[in-house]
Each structure stands twice: as structure tokens, then as C-alpha cells.
Structure 1
Amino acid sequence: MIPIDPTSGAADTSPQVAPARMDAFRADRVYLGADHARNERRTWIVTAICAATLAAQLIGGLAFKSMALTAAGLHMAAHVAVLLVAAFAYRVARQRKDDPRYAFGTGKIGFLAGFANAVVLAATAFLIALESIERLIEPAAVDYDSALPLAAAGLAVTIVCVWLLKPARAAHDGDADLNLSAAHLHLSADALVGVLTLAGLAAGRSFGWSWTDPAAGLVGAALVAQFAWSLLRRTGGVLLDMNPSPALVAEIRARLQAQGERVVDLHLWRLGPGHHAAIVVLEAAQPQDVQAYRARLAGLAGLSHLTIEVRRA
């Protein structure tokens, strides 16, 4: 097989990479997302905000002997843990992007972090549902006057963090940074649960309905579980090298078979946000130079690494 560098147009037919070309070889394997630096910076900012809120809530809980504040602080600790995983994934991917041990770069580190955080999101949904069911079975007295301001303050902080983690641009699924999506979804789910919690607390305070607070928790848990399942499927698919774009596969096949050739094998997978790799085996009665086949695929967005093998039919 002849590796084709789509950025330089050069075909490397030697079995080993010469030392003089090692830098170019490594550069071809940097598959970080276009907004990697921006997303990393914002993730660290949000982590700092959540850590400061966590410290304030825990200190306040100890100073005022408030279990509500302490519980809120422990809940915020889960956010900090999730955000730290996402932030360190960005850092490691950036710092190791030129490491030759990663055959196809470090673009998938973010997907691995996203999968881990999706698991945490699923566990969060389970714990919310469990606590809500217990409260429905054995209702507990709620201090609405203290709980409402605390819930509102936590929601305000979460909304600011959700805004900071909003993707810079609308992206197709093949371009999406699923590490950022995991952190964003985690906080978005918490904001949604926060809104439902406020509604449940307000209804309980106004009408004396003790069931509204845990009922709101159950609805929130169901929505969080749906978010987690969607993210698990998307990140898991990338980690297992599932075909990320049937449309791109069809376009590659159509272009390469335009003059009577036959694609006998074609694999497409994701290397990082907005980056795909393809391996193609092509048969032709009168094979052309590999550069001619590469030229047919010029301009395909997201096709960052290409290997073509040409056989005589």
C-alpha cells in the first residue's frame, strides 16, 4: 500500500520514513479539532468557576452548619471532577500531538474522556432517580425558604458555565468535539434538573405538595439518562471505529469509480474532531498513477489521512 499525504501530495513508497522527512510525517498525524485551544481554555475557566463555587458552598456549610449548602458543595464536586477529566484530555492531546507512539495522533483522547464522562452522567441519572424514589416513598420535610435561594444560585452558576462551554460553531456529527459535548451536556443536564427543582420547590411551597420536588427529580433523571445514552453511543462508536459518515463513503466510492475502476475495499473512521482517515483498495484494467486517484478526492472536507492500494484487474 502507498500512503498518500493529502496535505503535501507526496507519495512515500519507501518502507521506512527517512529522518529528513520525520517532521512532515508527524505533522500529518496532528488531528486535533479546529477549536481545540479555545475549548481547552474555556474548560479550564469553567473548572475554576465550579471549584470556587464548591469551596464557597463547603465553607458556608461548615460555618453555618447547613446540610443544604454541604450537599450542594458535594454535588458541585461531581461537576469539578467531570470538567477536570475533560480539561486534562485537552492538555494531554495537545502535549502529545507529536508523539510518534500514537500511530494516528491524539485526536481520540477527547472521545475517550467524553465516553468516561458519559458514564458519569448515566450514574448521576441513576442516583437522582434513586433519591427521588426514596423521597416519594418517605417524604422528608423541606425548608423551602432556604432551599429556593440556594437552588436559584446554583442554577445561575450552572447557566453561566453552560454558556461558556457552548461550541464555537454549529458542527456536523463528524466535526463535533465530543469531549466538549460531554462537559456541556453534563452541565446542561444539571441546569435542566435545576429548573425542574425550582419548579418543584415553588409548587411545594405554594401548595404544600411534598411530592412535586421528588417528581421533578424523576423527570430530570429520565432526561439526564437520555443525554447520557446518546453521548455513550456517539463516543463509543468513535472508539470502536464505526463508519462515521455513509455519505462520505459513498462520495469517495463514486469519485474513485468514475472511470470504470472498482473499489474492492474501503474503510473510513474518525481520527479527531473534523478529521477522517480512509484506506482504499482499488482495481483497474489500466491503473493510473496514485496521484491521479488522489486528485479525484481533492476538496473532500474532513478527509485528512488517505492510503490507497491500486491493483491491476
Structure 2
Amino acid sequence: MVDNKHSIKPWQHQHQFSSINIDGERNTRYVLYLTVITMIVEIVAGTVYGSMALLADGWHMGTHAAAFMITLFAYHYARKHADNPDFSFGTGKVSVLGGFTSAIALGMVALIMLVESTARFFSPHQIQFNEAIVVAIIGLTVNLVSALLLKDHHGHSHSHGHSHSHHNHQEHAHEGQDHNLRAAYLHVLADALTSILAIAALLFGKWYGLTWLDPLMGIVGSIIITRWAWQLLGQTSPILLDQSIEEMYRNKMTALIESEEDHQVTDLHIWKISADHYAAAISIVSHQPKEVDYFKEKLGSFEQVRHLTIEINTCHDTKCHQSIR
């Protein structure tokens, strides 16, 4: 066995790209407690007082409680496995996966609301308006408090340092998308919307006898919530599927490399490895190629790329021999 006494540390990469949102995680836990308590109260009250809007709000909050559990689990899992080498690029996509899963749950909530509300058009129930309105207002109050707890943190997170050989970044605070918490925030907004529609339907039903508004508001709410779920799926699915960065960014990087005489880019991939960080793999061919470190330094201005791998191919006459450095 060869005794390798050389230190390889200068050429090694850090692979921790997960974001830690301590405040968001703590506040999500508070929101979960509030949601579970309110859910129980609304389901019982909706059953007793005969309000479909109130029942929909209660069951809706129940599914959101499950979504908040997904959010908290994602935070815990990402933190626990932050330094696990089994994850090629760390656990940066765990929060994205949590947001994607919660978006599906949000869509299921909308579907259940749509089915139940449509059924109530053909089979209306007697509603005890005064009691139902009081409970709905309580639910809305809880939703608004929950939204305030999550609002200031659903778009901000604090990252670990990302020290690499090509940028030598220092540990820093980073603002970016926390799709996991954004999903929780949208669930809270959906709850608030359902509560507002329930209160409106109950008031008009009490004052003007328009009881058909109760199931109608459930249908309107389901449509709006479906739109939110679709938007969240649209934000998270490209990251999970390793969608490439925009073409303009790739073209700028290619142009910079090929500004060097007799250097061409033969392959270039740039994809997200977390909600906010990109990795790049680039292949370059030349008759007299420059060193890998030269290109890493040259590409240092492309700050969105946190993990850069460069492959150099040396071309001799008409035949090229691959040399990976």
C-alpha cells in the first residue's frame, strides 16, 4: 500500500448546503399547538351547530396540523443529517421536499372541501348561526396570530458557511427561500381564508336567509387554496428535479471561459442543490489548457454557484485525450 503523505484538504469541498431557520422552526411548533386546539373546538362545534363552513374549517385545520408536523420533521431531519456523507450535497433539499409534500396536502384539503361543499348544496343542514359564528371568529383569531408568527420568517433563513477551493467563502448569513416554512405559512393563510369565508357565509345566512352561501364559500375557498398549492408545487418541483439555471446565466459562464483563446466548453450543467445554492459541472477542451485553479478563480464572480467541478480535456492534433484534474 502506498503511503500518501500529501494533504488533500485544500482540494476538498464542503457539502453542507442546508439552511437553518431556528425562529421559523420554533414558531411553527407554536402554530401547531394552536392549530390542534382550534381544530378540535371547530370540529365539535361544527357538528353540534350544523355548519358545513365551520366543519370544513375544522377538518381543514386538521390537515394543516399534519402539514406542520411535516415541516417540523423536515427541519429535524435536515439538522440531524447535516454532516451525513450519504447525502451527496447535504440535506439542502429536505426543506424543499417538505414544501412539496405540504403542497400536495394543501391540494387534498381543497379537494375534500370541494366535494363536501358540493354535497351540502343537495343536502343542506340546519345551522345554529350564533354559536357557529362565535367559534369561527375564534378560529380566525388563531389563524391571524399564527400568520404573524410565521410571516417574518417564511422567506428568510440562516445558512451554514460554504467554504470551497474556488471561492473561499466565509460563514455568512444568507437570506433565501425556505420552501418548508413557506408551505406552513400558506397553510395558515388557507385556514384564515376559510375562516373569513365561513364567517361571511354565516352572517349572510343569519341576516338574509342565504343558507346556500355556506357551501358556496367552501367551494370558493377550495379554488383559491388549489391555486396556492399549485404555485408551491411550481416552486419546489423544479428544484427536486434538478432543473438547470436560466440559459442567460449558462451563456455568460460559457462566454467567459471561451474568451480564453483555444478553450471551448464541451459540457456544462448547473442545477440547484438546495433552495438557494447551485452546483456546476463543466467540461473544457483545449490544445494547451490552463490549470483548473485558473478557471475556478476566473469564475469566482458567479456567486450563485457554491459547488464547482471542472474537467479539463487536452486535445493533441486531431485526437483528444481526456485528462481530469
Instruction: Count residues in correspondence.
Output: 291
Aligned twin of 2:18 = 32
1:141 is paired with a residue whose SS is coil
1:42 to 1:209, Cα distance in 2 relative to 1, 3 A: same
Cα distance, 1:201 vs structure 2? 1.7
Cα distance, 1:55 vs structure 2? 5.7
Cα distance, 1:254 vs structure 2? 3.0
Contact 1:175–1:275 (CA under 8 A) maintained in structure 2: no
Cα distance, 1:305 vs structure 2? 0.7
1:245 to 1:152, Cα distance in 2 relative to 1, 3 A: farther
| Residue identity matched to 1:185 | L
Alignment of 1:253 onto 2:254 = yes
2:132 is paired with a residue whose SS is helix
2:301 is paired with a residue whose SS is coil
Aligned twin of 2:179 = 178
TM-score normalised over the length of structure 2: 0.79
Alignment of 1:48 onto 2:33 = yes
| Residue identity matched to 2:223 | A
1:97 to 1:24, Cα distance in 2 relative to 1, 3 A: farther
Aligned equivalent of 2:150, options 152, 155, 165: 165
Aligned twin of 1:215 = 216
Q: Can you give the 5+ residue segments of structure 2 that lack an aligned partner in the other structure?
A: 157-174, 316-325
Aligned twin of 1:12 = none
CA distance in 1, matches of 2:93, 2:224: 27
Cα distance, 1:143 vs structure 2? 1.4
Aligned twin of 2:198 = 197
Contact 1:83–1:183 (CA under 8 A) maintained in structure 2: yes
Contact 1:57–1:73 (CA under 8 A) maintained in structure 2: yes
Aligned equivalent of 2:312, options 306, 310, 313: 310
Cα distance, 1:222 vs structure 2? 0.7
1:192 to 1:275, Cα distance in 2 relative to 1, 3 A: same
Aligned twin of 2:277 = 275
Cα distance, 1:77 vs structure 2? 2.6
Cα distance, 1:207 vs structure 2? 1.2
Contact 1:167–1:180 (CA under 8 A) maintained in structure 2: no
1:57 to 1:18, Cα distance in 2 relative to 1, 3 A: farther
Aligned equivalent of 2:90, options 95, 105, 123: 105
After superposition, what is the alpha-carbon deviation per residue over 1:75-110, rounded to whole angstroms, capped at 9, x for unaligned?
433222110110110111011100111111011111
CA distance in 2, matches of 1:185, 1:79: 10
Between the aligned residues of both structures, percent identity stands at 31
Larger Rg computed on CA atoms: 2
Alignment of 1:134 onto 2:114 = no
1:272 is paired with a residue whose SS is coil
Contact 1:121–1:225 (CA under 8 A) maintained in structure 2: yes
Give the structure, 1 or 2, with the largest relative contact order (CA under 8 Å, sep 6 or more).
1
Q: Can you give the 5+ residue segments of structure 1 that lack an aligned partner in the other structure?
A: 1-16
1:281 to 1:154, Cα distance in 2 relative to 1, 3 A: same
1:113 to 1:169, Cα distance in 2 relative to 1, 3 A: closer
CA distance in 2, matches of 1:296, 1:117: 41
Cα distance, 1:19 vs structure 2? 11
CA distance in 1, matches of 2:62, 2:11: 43
CA distance in 2, matches of 1:242, 1:23: 30
Q: Relative to structure 2, which stretch is displaced further, 81-90 or 162-171?
A: 162-171
| Residue identity matched to 1:109 | V
1:239 to 1:288, Cα distance in 2 relative to 1, 3 A: same
